[in-house]
Amino acid sequence: MSLVDELRWRGMIHDIMPGTEELLEKEQVTAYVGIDPTADSLHIGHLVGVMMLKRLQHAGHRPIALVGGATGMIGDPSGKSQERNLLDETTLRQNQESLKKQISKFLDFETGAPNRALMVNNYDWMKDYTFLAFIRDIGKHITVNYMMAKDSVKKRLGADSKSGMSFTEFTYQLVQGYDFQVLYREHHCKLQMGGSDQWGNIVTGTELIRRIEKGEAYALTWPLITKSDGGKFGKTEEGNVWLDPERTSPYKFYQFWLNVSDEDAEKYLKIFTMLGREAIQQLVSEHTEAPHKRVMQKKLAEEITVLIHSREEYDMAVEASDILFGRGTRESLKKIREELFLSVFEGVPQYEVPTSRMDKDVLELLAVDTGVFASKGEARRMIAGGGVSINKQKLSDPGQRITEKDFINNRYLLVQKGKKNYYLIRVRES
RNA sequence: GGGGAGGUUCCCGAGUGGUCAAAGGGGGCAGACUGUAAAUCUGUUGGCUACGCCUUCGAAGGUUCAAAUCCUUCUCUCCCCA
C-alpha cells in the first residue's frame, strides 16, 4: 500500500495536490509541517502534524519541522487567533529547544540516515530580511488579486466580517509562502503539509516556487480533527491537553484518551497510533463484541501515553485509574504506600489544613477551610444528594466529624465530589 | 434630530404592587442506570449564624405598610423615520 493510500485509509488526507502521490512513490521527498512556538510545549492539537511527519519518515522520506518563530508573531487571518505578541529571541530559542525534545520522541533527528529529520526556524531567515527587500524580491511575484481570492482573506473582507484585517495579517500568506520557497531552495523540500485551513497558504508557497524558482512543489492537508459530539478536539475543562508532563500529568493525559467516545476511538487509533490495518480491525471487532470493555480506548491510551511519556508513566497511570475508578474501598486506600498514593494524586487539587482546624464538622472543612465547595449551601446540597465521599465512603451527615482514624497514612483525607473530582486534604501538625 | 421597543438570576425568557430568591427552557453540577461512555430518568442551580435573616431583576433617587413590578432622572441596546 502506498503512503498516500495508507494516509487516505487513516483519514488523514483532506486535500492533496495532483502529482503529490506520484512524487512520493518515485523518490525520497523532503516535506515540512509548520509549528507555532507560542509555548514551550506541544499540545495534542499538534499531534496530527507530528504524526504526519513520523509516517513520512517511516516511509523513507525526510521530514522537516519548521518552527514558526517569524510567522508565529503574526498570526494568519483565518481566524481564531488574534495577532500574536512578539516573542523575544531568548524565549523563542528556549521554546524551540523544548519543542525539539518533544518531537524527538516521534522523529529521528540523530542518526546519519539520509532521511533524518530536520528542524528549522523561519525566524532565522526572516529576522534580517528587510521590508524593502521582501516586497521587491517576493511581493512583486504575487498579485493582490491572487491573495484576495483566498478564503481566509475573503472572509475577512466580506460585509459580515466584524473586524477588519490588518495589513500584517494580509501579508501572512506571503511570509509563509516564502518559507516554503526557502526550504525548496535549501533543502529541496517539495511538499508542505498542514491542517485543512492551511491550504491557501501552502498553495501560495507552491506558486512562489513555480514563479521564482521555476520548480514544482506540492501540497497536502489533513482534515480538522473532530469529536463525534461536535466539541473541540483536544480540550478539556481545564484547557489544552499538553505533551509536557508538567502541564498535563501523564495520568490526566492517559485519562483523556481513555475517555474518548466509541465513535472517535477508531478514528483516533488510525490517526494517532502506528498500529496497522489488521491490528485496528481486530480492535474494532473486539469492541463490537464487548463494547463495555473498551479495548479501543485502552489501546489508544496505551499507545499514545507510552509514546509521549514512557512505559513506566503509563503503568502508573493505569494503576492510578484502578485505584480511583476501580472498586477501591476505604481499606484498599489505606493500604497503598505513601509514594504511590502521592503520585496517584499528583495532579489533584490539594489543600493543607492544620490539625487544629480539624475539630469541626465536615461541612465547614470542605467549604471554608478548603475550596472544595464554594459555599456551605452547595456543600450541604451535594452531601444531601449523595455526591460527596471521603476516603471512598459516602458522606451522609453534614455534621459528621473527622477524627484521626479517618486519616490515610496519618495525614491525608481523600475527598470526592461526584465520581471524577478528587481533592486531597493534607493535615499539617500545628 | 423625531418615533418606538427594551435591559430580569450563567444564557434564553416569563413575571406588570404583596402569595417573588423570581415560571419555563437551555447550560452547569450531582444521583440512579452504565463502560470512568451515550441515551434516559431524578434532584439541584444567590448567600448565611438557616422553620428565620441578608443581598439580588441596567444605575441612582422617590411614592407606598409593601416595589422586579408605579413615578423621576441617568445610562446602555435594538428597530423605524429624517
Q: For every residue of A44-78, which 3-state class applies, written as one string?
A: HHHHHHHHHHHHHHHCCCEEEEEECCCHHHCCCCC
How far apart, in whole angstroms, are the C-alpha atoms of residue A384 and residue A270? 45
Q: pLDDT tier at A78 (50, 70, 90 boundaries)?
A: low
Asked if the model's pLDDT at residue A75 lies above 90, the reply is no
Q: Which of A173, A176, A248, A305 is catalytic?
A: A176
CATH topology of domain A235-325: Tyrosyl-Transfer RNA Synthetase (1.10.240)
A171 is catalytic: no
A58 is catalytic: no
Strand order in the sheet with A189-195: A15-16, A218-222, A189-195, A30-35, A62-67, A118-121
How long is the CA A381 to C1' B17 vector, in angstroms?
34
Q: pLDDT tier at A161 (50, 70, 90 boundaries)?
A: low
How long is the CA A377 to C1' B46 vector, in angstroms?
10
pLDDT of residue A36: 87
- Report the nucleotide nearest the CA of residue A394, measured to C1': B31
Q: For residue A417, what is the enclosing H or E element?
A: strand A412-417
Q: Which residue's C-alpha is at the least distance from the C1' of B43?
A: A385
- Alpha helices by DSSP H, A352-396: 362-364, 376-384
pLDDT of residue A199: 94
Return left, alpha or beta for A418; rule: phi > 0 is left, psi -120 to 50 is alpha, else beta.
left
- Written as nine digits, the cell of A126 is 526572516
DSSP A276: -
pLDDT of residue A89: 83
Asked if the model's pLDDT at residue A160 lies above 60, the reply is no
A236 is catalytic: yes
How far apart, in whole angstroms, are the C-alpha atoms of residue A178 and residue A183? 9
Greatest mean pLDDT among A69-83, A162-176, A385-399 lies in A385-399
How far apart, in whole angstroms, are the C-alpha atoms of residue A204 and residue A142? 8
Q: pLDDT tier at A394 (50, 70, 90 boundaries)?
A: confident
How long is the CA A239 to C1' B73 vector, in angstroms?
46
CATH number of A340-428: 3.10.290.10
How long is the CA A377 to C1' B18 vector, in angstroms?
28
Q: Which residues interact with strand B by a CB < 7 Å criterion?
A: A 229, 237, 255, 258-259, 261-262, 291-292, 294, 297, 321, 325, 367, 374-378, 380-382, 385-387, 417-421
Q: Which of A14, A84, A294, A357 is catalytic?
A: A84
Read off the pLDDT of residues A395-411 as tens digits, 9 standing for 90 and up.
Answer: 888 888 888 888 888 88
pLDDT of residue A86: 63
pLDDT, average across residues A131-154: 92
Q: Do the bridges between strand A388-390 and strand A393-394 make them parallel or antiparallel, or are there none, so unpaired?
A: antiparallel
pLDDT, average across residues A135-162: 84
Superfamily for domain range A3-222: HUPs (3.40.50.620)
How long is the CA A425 to C1' B50 vector, in angstroms?
28
A176 is catalytic: yes
pLDDT, average across residues A91-116: 91
Q: Which of A8, A15, A38, A187 is catalytic?
A: A38
A221 is catalytic: no
How long is the CA A374 to C1' B16 vector, in angstroms?
35
How far apart, in whole angstroms, are the C-alpha atoms of residue A141 and residue A215? 14
Cell 485505584 sits on residue: A323
How far apart, in whole angstroms, are the C-alpha atoms of residue A116 and residue A131? 34
Q: Which of A46, A54, A287, A392 is catalytic?
A: A46
Residue A395: strand, helix, or coil: coil
pLDDT of residue A356: 81
- Report the nucleotide nearest the CA of residue A296, measured to C1': B35
pLDDT of residue A59: 95
ipTM of the complex model: 0.80
How long is the CA A315 to C1' B14 vector, in angstroms?
55
- Domain locations in chain A as residue ranges: 3-222, 235-325, 340-428
Looking at every residue in chain A, the average pLDDT score rounds to 88
pLDDT of residue A84: 57
Of all residues in chain A, the percent with pLDDT exceeding 70 is: 94
- Written as nine digits, the cell of A97 is 529547544
How far apart, in whole angstroms, are the C-alpha atoms of residue A342 and residue A339? 5
Of A72-76, A84-88, A243-247, which range is least confident? A84-88
Q: Which residues contact A318 (CB under 8 A, 6 or more apart)?
A: A254
- Report the nucleotide nearest the CA of residue A377, measured to C1': B47
Task: Answer yes or no: are the C-beta atoms of A341 and A378 closer than 8 Å.
Answer: no
Q: Which nucleotides of B are covered by protein (CB under 7 A)?
A: 29-32, 34-38, 43-50
Q: pLDDT tier at A327 (50, 70, 90 boundaries)?
A: low
How far apart, in whole angstroms, are the C-alpha atoms of residue A193 and residue A49? 8
Q: Which residue's C-alpha is at the least distance from the C1' of B38?
A: A261
A101 is catalytic: no
Asked if the model's pLDDT at residue A179 lies above 70, the reply is yes
How long is the CA A228 to C1' B77 vector, in angstroms?
37
- Report the nucleotide nearest the CA of residue A320, measured to C1': B36
- Report the nucleotide nearest the CA of residue A228, measured to C1': B38
CA distances from A220 to A8, A104, A106, A131, A193 (A): 11, 23, 20, 30, 5
- Written as nine digits, the cell of A93 is 530559542
Q: Which residues contact A252 (CB under 8 A, 6 or more apart)?
A: A236, A238, A241, A347
What are the backbone dihedrals phi and psi of residue A25, each rounded to the nearest 5 degrees, phi first? -80, -30
- Written as nine digits, the cell of A30 is 523532503
Q: Which of A8, A14, A15, A43 is catalytic?
A: A43
Q: Residue type at A164?
A: G
CA distances from A267 to A47, A57, A284 (A): 14, 22, 11
- Report the nucleotide nearest the CA of residue A389, measured to C1': B30
Asked if the model's pLDDT at residue A163 lies above 80, the reply is no
Measured between its terminal Cα atoms, the distance across chain A in Å is 68
pLDDT, average across residues A55-82: 81
Of all residues in chain A, the percent with pLDDT exceeding 90 is: 54
pLDDT of residue A321: 87
A46 is catalytic: yes
In order, the DSSP letters of A206-260 are: HHHIIIII----EEEEEPPPB-TTSPBTTEETTEE-BSSTTTS-HHHHHHHHHT-
pLDDT, average across residues A44-59: 95
How far apart, in whole angstroms, are the C-alpha atoms of residue A405 and residue A415? 15
pLDDT of residue A248: 87
- Written as nine digits, the cell of A403 is 477524627
